[in-house]
Chain A
């Protein structure tokens, strides 16, 4: 499949001919996408099409799954992600991730945000304080929690949890933030807030978001990749893909004829 290169921005993650196998069965077939820097790219497709699997290739979260084998090339800033000599910890600091289900740690709000810094060995009080304030402000959570930073994060609501997880990802100042259906466990109001937040983060971070929700993809992303049964069907500017798709399958999917 030919590679669709983004037009107006230098790609930060380049992938070419990525194949992924779970033991014997293959989940991704020659996927090649170049993700433009400081833009929001959406990965859409029906359940089980491999979009989450693809997303998790980019910070090597698939390492945690036994029997996964990846071929092809994934590059971040020109460095091969799957290089066995690559420092995974360093990679994951550059490529943050927000999960489908909010997963705050059973610690205070403050400690949740500085977790990534603390494990990196940062213990300077002032640095941590300012990181907390900045990250929470960027995640639009500061005003709600500034008076109870040292209270357990588990007492927050679901939407606040997810914003806290975003703040936690931002705190280590990654280049890329991967979002794996970040709104699927949230109510519409919280979803709207997260979408606003993605709009605000755009321009400073490269965001790759997996979503089931077509409207959401259309609302928040600059580029969209449509995957179907492990194959990349179409990749292009969101506006174009949603208004004038090149492929028949894409049109069928976004108009709700299947999937």
Chain B
């Protein structure tokens, strides 16, 4: 009986079911671990951590956010890590410190009046308020020191915005004007050189006109420079006045530090915050992440330029890859005569997906950037080329997206081909038998029917493109790009270098001078990249399902 049952177990193929099931489970578990690690570490970053005060046997006191327990590698003794911040007061310039458990006297204490201060530079400050020096802001209000400080910071920032902010707007506008004038000067110089060299026909009158224009431009340049210098002086004046508003902070050892209020981003008292206050803090940090520029060599602040760059890159990629891939797929399936050549092309297209992406990157650099970009430069901006200035002939978002387009085009071709191939012959015949041309059949019947499959190809292509970093590194991505790669006038900013979340992960995770401080940002950036890919593909999947419902042939 028993033996029969076990025989049946083997004969019915039960072990194979188990093996396949196990394989699937392993894959799912690993994926789940990855997601959970990213989520747990990423989502928790902005939650305000309590600040603990540790007193040691020798009387020393440490103040910091408790990180983790561990065992020392050499001594094997228990130790724990604090994020003590206050990098500028530490002799080793460190934000994180390890302490032995055995030296600890008593339990951690959580003093309620501890202030965590996010600063423009030198990372956070953890300590106590000693004295607020607000000399030229209106009377500051507040019952506690913390709320008075918060009020003083808000008022200082408001004044900074109204005084320095407007100047900064003007100077950045002037910088643009200056750039344009310099290009214009280059052009006039180049034009008159060409005429003088006899490479272009022109008379003395023309030369005179150019000379006069040159004088005007140079005068204008001089004027802008002067205005700009004046503004900078004015800005310095305002700033130095505002910087007199400061707070003197003390750390746990009693060392003091004077911090100008304009350098403070925000303060909070983690040990004195209720649940709603923490939620509010969290939301405002997320908002900062999504809208602000990075600070402190990308380890703090927001990610807006990187988010923008990533999304824009994928959109530009779609503009090159999707039309090209759809057209090529249609030709391959519907028009090309089946034969050795078509089969070879098909094999080649399928294998293109296996080429390492860095190879695409190198091709993009050589072909798009240097060849196409260089040629464009010599056509459109010969004067800049003569002066050694590259516009298109250097890495930029347009070339990076075209490189990615090239990388994803095989995915699109294959899916278009498969989607068209899956349509029953009868549907084509039905249309042709009614007197439709091949083109009409394609546009009116086949493409709508193939659209869900084509969308699948788009989704795969977008996901692949969003995850690529290597080819971008040599075609235009940079670690910090203050100007977004978009503009209203030609070339619409497409020639600009850009930031990208994937590269950001690599940059802050492995290239940052302060890896420990950058770690939370790595998780946050990873999470954000995953969410963006997820959002984009979800939209595409919803669209695809709608199309599928509409166009799917029910089997009869």
Also in contact, A105 and B552, with CB within 8 A (given A90-B435, A168-B434): no
What's the Cα separation between A158 and B337 when bound, in Å?
A: 34
Among listed A115-123, A136-144, A225-233, interface-contacting one: A115-123
CB of A92 within 8 A of CB of B433, answer yes
Contact B424 A154 (CB under 8 A): no
A-contacting residues, B532-556, CB 8 Å: 550-554, 556
Do residues A115 and B431 form an inter-chain contact, with CB atoms below 8 A?
A: yes
B493 at the interface (CB under 8 A from A): no
| Complex: A8 Cα to B341 Cα, angstroms | 54
Looking at A23-31, A38-46, A58-66, A72-80, the stretch in contact with chain B turns out to be: A58-66
Expressed in whole angstroms, the Cα–Cα distance for A102 and B554 within the complex equals: 11
Q: A101-B556, A103-B430 are in contact. Are A115 and B551 (CB under 8 A)?
A: no
B426 within 8 A of A: yes
Annotate B425-452 by CB proximity to A: 1 below 8 A, 0 otherwise. 0111111111111001000110011000
B90 CB-CB contact with A under 8 Å: no
The smallest C-beta distance from A67 to any residue of chain B, in angstroms, reads: 11
Structural contact, B431 and A172, CB atoms closer than 8 A: no
| Chain A residues near B440 (CB-CB < 8 A) | 119
- Asked if B430 contacts A105 (CB within 8 A), the reply is yes
- Structural contact, A119 and B433, CB atoms closer than 8 A: no
Contact B435 A172 (CB under 8 A): yes
* Interface residue total, chain A, C-beta cutoff 8 A: 32
Query: A66-B337, A66-B338 given as contacts; is B552 within 8 A of A106 (CB)?
Result: yes
Cα–Cα distance between A152 and B546 once the two chains are bound (Å): 14
Q: Distance (Å) between the CB of B343 and the closest chain A CB?
A: 14
Q: Is the beta-carbon distance between A106 and B556 smaller than 8 angstroms?
A: no
Convert B291-330 into 0s and 1s, putting 1 for each residue whose CB lies closer than 8 angstroms to a CB of A: 0000000000000000000000000000000000000000
Is chain B's interface secondary structure helix, strand, loop, or mixed overall?
Answer: helix
Whether the pair A89, B437 counts as a contact (CB closer than 8 A) is: yes
Which among A61, A106, A161 has the greatest number of chain B C-beta atoms within 10 A? A106
**Given A103-B427, A103-B429: A161 touches B434 (CB 8 Å cut-off):** no
- Tell me, rounded to whole Å, the shortest Cβ–Cβ distance linking B439 to chain A: 10
- Check if A99 sits within 8 Å of B430, measured CB to CB: yes
Cβ of A109 within 8 Å of any chain B Cβ, yes or no, is: no
Q: Contact check: which of B337, B426, B433, B550 meets A152 at CB < 8 Å? A: B550
* A165/B338 contact (C-beta < 8 A), A102-B556, A106-B449, A116-B435 known: no
Contact indicator B550/A106 (Cβ below 8 Å)? yes
The answer on a CB contact under 8 Å between B433 and A61 is yes
A158 to B553, CA, bound (A): 12
Bound complex: CA A50 to CA B547 (Å): 39
Docked Cα-Cα span, A120 to B431, in Å, equals 12
Could you tell me the distance between the alpha carbons of A158 and B448 in the complex, rounded to whole angstroms?
22
Asked if A105 and B427 make an inter-chain contact with CB atoms under 8 angstroms apart, the answer reads: yes
Question: B448, A106: Cβ atoms under 8 Å?
Answer: yes
Nearest opposing residue in chain A for B549, CB measure: A152
CA distance A247 to B430 in the complex (A): 36
User: Which 6 residue pairs of A and B lie closest in terms of their CB atoms, listed nearest first?
Assistant: A103-B426, A116-B434, A97-B433, A103-B430, A93-B435, A106-B551
Name B residues whose Cβ lies closer than 8 Å to a Cβ of A: 337-338, 424, 426-437, 440, 444-445, 448-449, 550-554, 556
Known: A92-B435, A103-B429. 5 other contacts (CB 8 A): A103-B427, A106-B551, A119-B444, A168-B434, A185-B556
